[in-house]
């Protein structure tokens, strides 16, 4: 039940969700817009901007070999054309802390958030954005590339396609136990003065802007840091059609995956991100007795294996850059991880080229519209004191990483 010697065992975070006080970002502005449907603002988050060394040391102690985190564009370039040396040096120290701890860093250059000035230029539906994003990537890799072995240009480059479909498919929740989704999200965000943020770039131009931004960023990175491996991550669902819905499943996979293949041709790896399955057809809803996560979707760790087998058709090495579950019952997180990693191992046994597994997420963090209620983390965070408490699931996955084996 072993894994390749160089297999990456990691966990992941995103700057806006853990660093705190990302005040120059478009999402900070959205959270504080009057009438916002965000459950709460991000605030201090997990104070990871200050506590990163302690967190990295804890991940190393648990047994992980890699750490995926994001560099915040809005911190590096808070105003158009102005590069913050302080931000560059901060992230240089984060990278050094990873290397000193023996963790291979994987850097995400855009994880949903952008500088708050970008929407004024059209945001992620504006023609200027790909070039501006590539210029930012060039700056970061010219400064820090020697410390960055893996770079993800854009997290979930296809997410606007999925989000638009979710809004079309899902009704607003009928219980206060869930954060606002569906029609409520559309009403709140599409009517906002800042509708062109990456996560909600619903216009026809959005996917093409993301594709072009990735291609230009990859080119810039390779020019200034040729040893850095470059890829992108895609949010991929395990579509399971009922009889008669097979064509719908093919169409959705084509939108989510096939349409991005020309843009990722020549990448060094593809980041695969999956959390559940999607049943299609007349009985498309999860079974009535299905276990639900705190995000409202079905507990279904088997989906990852199915998605990896489909994604292998891209012909690129695959890295599971996100896979996880939101639950207050940590025994279910252990079971989710157990089943998901067993699926990864079966893929490897069948010749699928999987190079790593990163659990989402390291810390209980800010889950965008949902606020702090969903608990994805391997490590709990008391936000009043910022005290970290390691969960059993962290020890479980860390033990797998230490022995590089499931048994």
Residue 149's pLDDT band (boundaries 50, 70, 90)? very high
When divided into structural domains, the chain yields a total of 1
Helix (H) or strand (E) holding 131: helix 129-144
Task: Tell me, rounded to whole angstroms, the distance of Cα 129 from its chain centroid.
Answer: 20
Q: Which among 19, 31, 125, 156 is annotated as catalytic?
A: 156
- Among 210, 98, 95, residue whose Cα is nearest residue 156: 210
Q: Quick one: DSSP state of residue 88? A: H
CB 400 within 8 A of CB 406: yes
281 assigned to some structural domain: yes
Residue 217 forms part of a structural domain: yes
Q: Which residue from 364, 349, 353, 355 is spatially nearest to 394, judged by alpha carbons?
A: 364
| pLDDT tens, position by position, 325-364 | 999 999 999 999 999 999 999 999 999 999 999 999 999 9
Predicted model pTM: 0.94
Q: Which two tokens stand for residue 345?
A: 């191992």
pLDDT above 80 for 265: yes
Residue carrying structure tokens 């190393």: 60
What angle is formed at CA 191 by the lines to CA 73 and CA 172, rounded to 5 degrees?
Answer: 100
- Crossing angle of helices 85-101/48-62, nearest 10°? 10
Asked, for residue 113, whether it belongs to a domain, the answer is: yes
Shortest CA distance to 319 belongs to which of 307, 302, 330, 329? 307
pLDDT band at 283 (very low <50, low <70, confident <90, very high): low
Average pLDDT of the residues in 214-243: 97
- The mean per-residue pLDDT over the stretch 23-35 comes to 91
Distance from C-alpha of 257 to C-alpha of 259, rounded to nearest angstrom: 6
In angstroms, what CA-CA distances link 79 with 116, 135, 153?
9, 13, 20
Q: Residue 61 sits in which domain range?
A: 8-403
Range 280-293 average pLDDT: 84
* pLDDT surpasses 80 at 152: yes
For 354, phi then psi, to 5°, come to -105, 130
Q: Any idea of the CA torsion for 120, 126, 127, 131, to the nearest 10 degrees?
A: 70
3 inside domain:
no
pLDDT for position 196: 81
**Kind plus residue range of the DSSP H or E element containing 10:** strand 8-12
Annotated catalytic, 204?
Answer: no
Query: Two tokens at 178?
Result: 């869930």
Specify the pLDDT at position 205: 86
Q: Is residue 69 in a domain?
A: yes
Is 325 inside any structural domain?
Answer: yes
Predicted local confidence at residue 178, as pLDDT? 45
At 177 the pLDDT is: 44
Decide if 2 is inside a domain: no
- Specify the pLDDT at position 379: 98
Across 64-69, average pLDDT: 98
| Element of type H or E holding 238 | strand 238-241
Alpha carbons 305 and 206: distance in angstroms, whole number: 29
Q: Inform me whether the pLDDT recorded for 46 exceeds 80.
A: yes
In which residue are the tokens 């539906």 written?
125
Please report the pLDDT score of residue 36 as a whole number. 82
Long-range CB contacts (within 8 A, 24+) of 175-182: 178/296, 179/39, 179/369, 179/370, 179/371, 179/373, 180/37, 180/39, 180/369, 181/296, 181/369
Share of the chain above pLDDT 70, in %: 92
Indicate the pLDDT class of residue 148, thresholds 50, 70 and 90.
Answer: very high
**Helix pair angle (205-224, 129-144), 10° resolution:** 30
Helix (H, G, I), strand (E, B) or coil at 25: strand
**Per-residue pLDDT averaged across 240-265, rounded?**
96
- Residue 18 vs residue 34, higher pLDDT: 18
CATH of residue 351: 3.20.20.80
Report how far residue 274's alpha carbon sits from residue 357's, in angstroms, rounded to the nearest whole number: 11
The model's pLDDT over 178-208, given as tens digits with 9 standing for 90+, comes to 444 433 444 544 444 445 889 888 777 889 9
Q: Structure tokens of 5?
A: 């010697």
Helix (H, G, I), strand (E, B) or coil at 64: coil
The most confident of the ranges 122-126, 277-281, 289-293, 338-342 is 338-342
Q: Residue 179: its pLDDT value, please?
A: 42
Please spell the DSSP secondary structure of 319-364, one letter per residue.
EEEE-----S-HHHHHHHHHHHHHHHHHHHHTT--EEEEEEE-SB-
Query: Residue 194 has what pLDDT?
Result: 46
Q: Specify if 139 maps to a domain.
A: yes
């Amino acid at each position: 039940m072993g894994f390749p010697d160089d297999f990456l065992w990691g966990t992941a975070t995103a700057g806006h969700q853990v660093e705190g006080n990302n005040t120059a970002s478009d999402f900070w502005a959205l959270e504080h817009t009057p009438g916002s449907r965000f459950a709460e603002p991000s605030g201090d988050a997990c104070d990871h901007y200050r506590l990163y060394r302690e967190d990295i040391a804890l991940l190393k102690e648990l047994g992980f070999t890699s750490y995926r985190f994001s560099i915040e564009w809005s911190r590096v370039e808070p105003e158009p054309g102005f590069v913050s040396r302080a931000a560059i040096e901060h992230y240089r120290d984060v990278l050094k802390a990873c290397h000193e701890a023996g963790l291979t860093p994987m850097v995400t250059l855009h994880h949903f958030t952008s500088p708050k000035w970008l929407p004024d230029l059209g945001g992620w539906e504006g023609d200027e954005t790909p070039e501006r994003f590539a210029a930012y990537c060039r700056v970061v890799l010219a400064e820090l590339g020697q410390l960055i072995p893996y770079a993800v240009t854009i997290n979930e480059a296809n997410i606007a396609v999925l989000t638009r479909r979710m809004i079309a498919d899902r009704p607003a929740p009928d219980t206060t136990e869930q954060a606002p989704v569906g029609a409520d999200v559309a009403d709140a965000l599409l009517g906002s003065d800042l509708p062109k943020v990456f996560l909600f770039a619903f216009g026809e131009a959005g996917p093409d802007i993301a594709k072009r931004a990735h291609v230009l960023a990859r080119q810039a990175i390779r020019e200034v840091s040729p040893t850095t491996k470059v890829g992108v991550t895609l949010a991929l669902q395990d579509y399971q059609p009922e009889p008669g819905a097979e064509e719908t499943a093919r169409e959705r996979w084509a939108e989510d995956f096939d349409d991005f293949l020309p843009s990722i041709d020549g990448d060094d790896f593809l980041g695969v991100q999956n959390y559940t399955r999607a049943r299609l057809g007349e009985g498309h809803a999860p079974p009535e007795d299905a276990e639900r996560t705190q995000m409202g979707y079905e507990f279904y760790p088997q989906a990852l294996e199915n998605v990896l087998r489909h994604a292998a058709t891209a012909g690129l090495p695959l890295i599971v850059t996100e896979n996880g579950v939101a639950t207050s019952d940590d025994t279910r997180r252990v079971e989710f991880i157990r089943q998901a990693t067993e699926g990864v191992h079966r893929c490897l046994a069948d010749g699928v080229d999987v190079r790593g597994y990163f659990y989402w997420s390291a810390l209980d963090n800010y889950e965008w519209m949902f606020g702090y209620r969903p608990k994805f983390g391997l490590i709990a965070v008391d936000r009043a004191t910022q005290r970290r408490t390691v969960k059993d699931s962290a020890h479980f996955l860390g033990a797998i990483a230490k022995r590089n084996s499931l048994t």
